[in-house]
């Protein structure tokens, strides 16, 4: 099980507090070189659809670069962006926004 990482508002840099999750994910992926994942970039509801699609893509690529820097093969990871189109929380408050700003792993 790979744990999703969360991002700060309007950012695509992996926060220090989330880096441990990616270190753990890299160990799992390196241990099973045949395992492939898709990193989905997600955003909160603020901003335009096109802006959030681009931000989601930057977030997914940031996760991928971080994992690659830890030794995960590029062939194991694909990226996609859903922008603000697939929220896991729909309340209009900061706690909900934070949950939606994420890099999420799905099996390929």
Q: For residue range 32-54, what is the model confidence (pLDDT) as tens digits?
A: 999 999 999 999 999 999 999 99
The two structure tokens encoding residue 47: 């901003």
Are residues 75 and 34 in contact, defined by beta-carbon separation less than 8 angstroms? Answer: no
Estimate to the nearest angstrom the gap between the alpha carbon of 69 and the chain centroid.
16
| Cα pseudo-dihedral 68, 72, 73, 75, rounded to 10 | -90
- The beta strands (E) that lie in the chain are given as 5-6, 37-42, 77-83, 102-107
Q: What's the pTM?
A: 0.96
What 8-state DSSP symbol labels residue 70? T
Are residues 79 and 39 in contact, defined by beta-carbon separation less than 8 angstroms? Answer: yes
Q: How far apart are CA 39 and CA 57, in angstroms?
A: 9
Res 1 pLDDT > 80? no
Q: How far apart are CA 85 and CA 103, in angstroms?
A: 14
For residue 31, the model assigns a pLDDT of 97
């Amino acid at each position: 099980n790979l744990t999703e990482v969360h991002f700060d508002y309007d950012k695509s840099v992996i926060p220090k507090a989330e880096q441990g999750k990616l270190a753990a994910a890299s160990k799992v992926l390196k241990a099973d070189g045949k395992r492939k994942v898709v990193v989905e970039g997600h955003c909160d509801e603020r901003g335009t659809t096109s802006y959030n699609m681009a931000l989601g893509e930057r977030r997914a690529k940031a996760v991928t670069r971080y994992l690659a820097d830890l030794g995960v093969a590029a062939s194991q990871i694909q990226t996609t962006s859903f922008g603000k189109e697939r929220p896991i929380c729909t309340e209009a408050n900061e706690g909900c926004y934070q949950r939606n700003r994420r890099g999420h792993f799905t099996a390929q």
